[in-house]
Amino acid sequence: MEHKELAMKETKKIALVAHDNMKRDLLEWAGFNRDLLAQHELYATAATGKLLRQELGLDVTTLQSGPLGGDQQIGAKIAEGGIDSLIFFWDPLKPQPHDPDVKALLRIAVVWNIPVACNRASADFIISSPLMSGEYQRLLPDYEHGYGEQIEGERVASSGLPGPPGDHSGVAAG
C-alpha cells in the first residue's frame, strides 16, 4: 500500500478520554503531566473534560459524553486529521453500553496511525517521548489511491464491500 505523510506540528492535538471507573487514574496522570499537557491542544469527552478543567485548570475543548456520541466525535476528528494522539483510559473489566463506539474509536486510531495509550504506562511513554516536543511526519495509508487489496482471494474495493468496484450484487439491500 502507498503511504502519504501528514505533519504533526510541535503543538499536538491530544484527545483525553476515560471511562467512569478510570477517571480518577486519568486525572492523577494528567495532574502529574499537567505542565506538558498544557503545551498542547486538548480535547475530551464531556465529563472527563469538565474534571480536567475544574481540578487542573487545563484548557480543554469538550465534546459530547462518550455514550452520547463523544467517542464518535473524536473518531471523526482523527479521520479528518484533527487529533494527533489518543489517551484513552478505558475500563477493561466492565462492559460499557457504548462498547461498539469504543471499539470503533480504537479502530479508527489504528487506521489513521496515531499514537494510542490505554493505560498509565503507555500514556507515560507517549507524553515523555522526544517526538512530542517537535514536528513529526506521520505516515498514513493512502486509502484514496490503490486501496483494493486481495483478502482471501477477493478484491475489496475502496467501499469496503467485496467484489469489483461498483459491483455490490452480493450485498443484500438495506
One of 35, 71, 91, 101 is an active-site residue; which one?
71
Quote the CA–CA distance of 46 and 29 in Å, as a whole number.
18
Quote the CA–CA distance of 52 and 146 in Å, as a whole number.
42
Q: Cα-atom radius of gyration of the chain, to the nearest Å?
A: 18
Give phi and psi for 78, each to the nearest 5: -60, -50
- Annotated catalytic residue 71: yes
Q: Which are the contacts of 151, defined by CB distance < 8 A and separation ≥ 6?
A: none
What are the DSSP E strand ranges found in the chain? 3-8, 13-18, 41-44, 60-62, 85-89, 116-117, 136-141, 150-151, 154-155
Q: Which residues carry out catalysis?
A: 71
